[in-house]
Structure 1
């Protein structure tokens, strides 16, 4: 991809235009990280770029952005520009094509305002980005208040960059983030969601969580998290403290690489505890039904943030069933096998593990389920059914939905190891007095 970007730069230069690598790819190069993509900034106008390359796509002609396709690689080529006012808090009302130096001044953070000449292997720095990279500091370019007023999403982007890069946020930049946090409400849910995903999927997710809390941004994106503060829990099961402390601790105990449903289920598994908090006649704290209500709340929260259904649904399953683990040692084999056969099972087990580690530390049920997984590994968890609906009809049942209940009971007996053949299944039905009357 770098080679393609260099070829584009060289062609632009041969045509008399200035052209440089810009933004994140320069930052990542200096940090020794592999850039995800390479953006080119140039003095050429969009029309001039389009005239030079055979395969282009105008994706933001108003903003001077053209996608150039070369060797099946897509490279974003943007004209140097200065921006007009940002009335919608996202995009400038107008742009003026300008110089590299002026273009750098319009960008968000100094570490993203760098250019690189890849041919001469030279860094062009108009904003002090190199020094900030060396100091591992995230600093807004120019006046922080102005940068965040232009595009409110930069508030979350600051947290994301500080999280994934492990940088400190410069004092004036941080002050402006805290001041502008309430204005994040003007940003679309989709853009907020995308930044949250990058924060919470990163191994340094706890830092991101804390920055969201300390800045006031959590109140704007997941206000339900703040309600967890001060919600007491039974000390014999939760010596670590309240629900907020428990949730934060669980987040810190996750492995580096996790699925999105897992990290979201950690954040939201106890989200209904404030609403279900009661104290019984013995003085014991209870949260009856918080798992079921929590699953409903999880769906509402994630739909509000425009998560796709294929993320929402497995997250809800994990939240809804996270309390079932306390009973696994008393479950029949059939119940355990059905539980373990769910596609969400690996994440459910991982959620249970950090739930235990983030509270009383007891992993006996987790170890029990790991042992069961090994025990059941020699054959399919859910084998081929011994009987089907046609078999039941031939045995005298009338067609109807009730056949499903009978087949489930037969399969439970199969999963429990009580029956292993179709013949045994028929005999079991007779012995269980489940056969229809003649």
Structure 2
């Protein structure tokens, strides 16, 4: 990568951080700053379809931008710091960034098996390329890698499952916000907040 390219990417990273930290609506700022088109990993989301039975709202970009806006609303409503807002919005924006690499049609359905794990890998590489702070990227990638953990558990998770999620390197409260935003950004297909049972178990565990 040339020095000029590195400077361009770092400048994009600075604009991205400003869009995430606020004020304003992240999706609007990202589009105004041309950060959807200029960052290939973002642009790829727009051409990645989703199964309409799970995601009637549209493609992965529509879903991801909506989730990012919901995360910003949560952070602003909680009077969170700019650092906290940045993490929540980035993790929500990138939570499905692995879908372009994993989406396929199987038996007439659109699937994206393994997108969370692939997304965490992409987030680390993209964060490095854009010059984002390492602690921010580590925290966001941990949330991205585990944002589907609740799918494998029906009903109340075990204490072991909750401890395993904690050990993955993410704040359970931050993880819960992104899971909630992911679910709500499905429009008519929105489901009850999948993070609630996990938080209930976590709050019952000794510190």
Tell me the TM-score normalised to structure 1 length: 0.40
Match of 2:63 in 1: 246
Q: 2:29 aligns with which of 208, 222, 226?
A: 208
Match of 1:196 in 2: 16
Within 2, Cα distance between the matches of 1:238 and 1:197?
28
Match of 1:365 in 2: 194
The alpha carbon displacement at 1:343 in A equals: 4.3
Within 2, Cα distance between the matches of 1:252 and 1:208?
10
Match of 2:102 in 1: 276
Q: 1:339 aligns with which of 152, 165, 172?
A: 165
Q: 1:313 aligns with which of 130, 135, 138?
A: 138
Q: Secondary structure at the match of 2:50?
A: coil
Consecutive unaligned residues in structure 1, runs of 5 or more: 1-183, 381-438
The alpha carbon displacement at 1:345 in A equals: 2.1
Q: Secondary structure at the match of 2:163?
A: helix
The alpha carbon displacement at 1:330 in A equals: 6.2
Q: Secondary structure at the match of 1:285?
A: strand
The alpha carbon displacement at 1:206 in A equals: 2.7
Match of 2:36 in 1: 218
CA distance 1:304–1:242, change in 2 (3 Å): same
Instruction: Return the structure number with greater relative CO, CA threshold 8 A, min gap 6.
Output: 2
Within 1, Cα distance between the matches of 2:126 and 2:48?
20
The alpha carbon displacement at 1:286 in A equals: 0.7
The alpha carbon displacement at 1:327 in A equals: 2.6
Consecutive unaligned residues in structure 2, runs of 5 or more: none
Within 2, Cα distance between the matches of 1:350 and 1:308?
21
Answer yes or no: is the 8 Å Cα contact 2:162–2:202 preserved in 1: no
Q: Deviations over 1:321-357 (max 9, x none)?
A: 1111223436432121332464432221111010000
Q: Secondary structure at the match of 2:33?
A: helix
CA distance 1:260–1:363, change in 2 (3 Å): same
Q: 1:348 aligns with which of 175, 178, 188?
A: 175
Q: Higher mean Cα deviation, 333-342 or 248-257?
A: 333-342
Q: Deviations over 1:234-291 (max 9, x none)?
A: 222112111111011111212224443322211211112111111112x121101111
Root-mean-square deviation (CA, aligned residues, Å) is 2.3
CA distance 1:186–1:304, change in 2 (3 Å): closer
Corresponding residue pairs, total? 190
Within 1, Cα distance between the matches of 2:103 and 2:137?
25
Within 2, Cα distance between the matches of 1:278 and 1:188?
33
The alpha carbon displacement at 1:225 in A equals: 0.9
The alpha carbon displacement at 1:364 in A equals: 4.1
Q: Secondary structure at the match of 1:227?
A: helix
Answer yes or no: is the 8 Å Cα contact 2:91–2:178 preserved in 1: yes
Within 2, Cα distance between the matches of 1:226 and 1:323?
23
Within 2, Cα distance between the matches of 1:260 and 1:364?
22
